[in-house]
Amino acid sequence: MKLDLSPTSWGRVIAVTAAGTAFFIAVAFFVDSFNFPYLSPEAVWRAQMTDLMLPLVLGGSFLFFLMWKIRQLAIAQRDLSVIAATDSLTAVLNRGAFSMLVEAYLEETRKQEQTRSGALLIIDADHFKSINDRLGHDCGDQALKLIAQAIKGQLRGSDIVGRIGGEEFGVFLPGVDPSQSWLVAEGIRRRIREMDFSPGGRACPLSVSIGGTSFSGPTTYEAIFSAADRRLYAAKSNGRDQVSFDPAEATLVSQSSVATVH
């Protein structure tokens, strides 16, 4: 079993405390050893006990307290970094954190010889302004939370989701082909369409338009975002509540579905 020595772990606190205390004891014994030849056996025993107990009690307690405080600071910094990267309303990544993670993945793929594929989806809530106008911003916030939950429910652990606008979400799907990407997008659209959203007992159907693009090979976040955004505009222009995928990459097109490919 591998010992966790991360800054937020108790393993680091215990390991540093134990190693530091052992070092203090060794130094005390080494320094005092020069006096041992001139002491009686009883005095040597008392000196050895002092060399053992004093560093153990004082040094060990000090090191434990110090490492405990350092651990608390590391946990606070970790929590602050999570808060800074998270959208407070929907609990997904905010725009900056989302784009940074996607670009970091794409940059890593550009450095590798092995070609990797993936896709970017832009998901926009349909007629969201009318929800805020008719039902109020509190209901609009509830709708966004439901949409975010529905999106996360369709994704894998390696997928990245963020809120990139007021009612707009981005989803990055690493390592998937166009067919799989389209299925994910359609699954998200259908799941949101089938949700029951009835604030105050009044039914308010939700729907989203989704624009997507896939890639296989070196690319940038700006390039795939622009391509997905054009597809989103097409989905909106053609009536909303549909998926529009990049025709250069998408291969799965069904006449019975609501996906549009131009």
**Biggest CA-to-CA distance, the chain:** 99
Is 165 strand, coil or helix?
coil
What is residue 164's predicted lDDT score, i.e. its pLDDT? Answer: 94
Q: Mean pLDDT across the stretch 60-80? A: 87
- Confidence at 1, pLDDT banded by 50, 70, 90: low
Q: What is the per-residue pLDDT across 139-194, written as a single tens digit (0 to 9) for each?
A: 999 999 999 999 999 998 889 999 998 899 999 999 888 888 999 999 999 999 99
Q: Which of 167, 168, 186, 249 is catalytic?
A: 167
**Residue 167 known to be catalytic:** yes
Q: Where are the domains of the chain?
A: 10-84, 95-245
Topology of domain 95-245, CATH: Alpha-Beta Plaits (3.30.70)
> What's the predicted TM-score (pTM) here?
0.71
Q: Mean pLDDT across the stretch 46-57? A: 90
CA-based Rg of the chain, rounded to a whole angstrom?
29
Q: What is the per-residue pLDDT across 183-235, written as a single tens digit (0 to 9) for each?
A: 999 999 999 999 988 887 788 889 999 999 998 888 889 999 999 999 999 99
Whole-number average pLDDT of the chain = 86
Own/partner long-range contacts of 23-30 (Cβ < 8 Å, ≥24 apart) = 24/55, 24/59, 24/60, 25/51, 25/52, 25/55, 25/56, 25/59, 27/55, 28/52, 28/54, 28/55
* Residue 22: Cβ within 10 Å count: 14
* Residue 85: Cβ within 10 Å count: 16
Burial classification of residue 243, based on how many CB atoms lie within 10 Å of its CB (0-12 exposed, 13-18 middle, 19 or more buried): buried
C-alpha span between 138 and 157 (Å, rounded): 30
C-alpha span between 97 and 95 (Å, rounded): 6
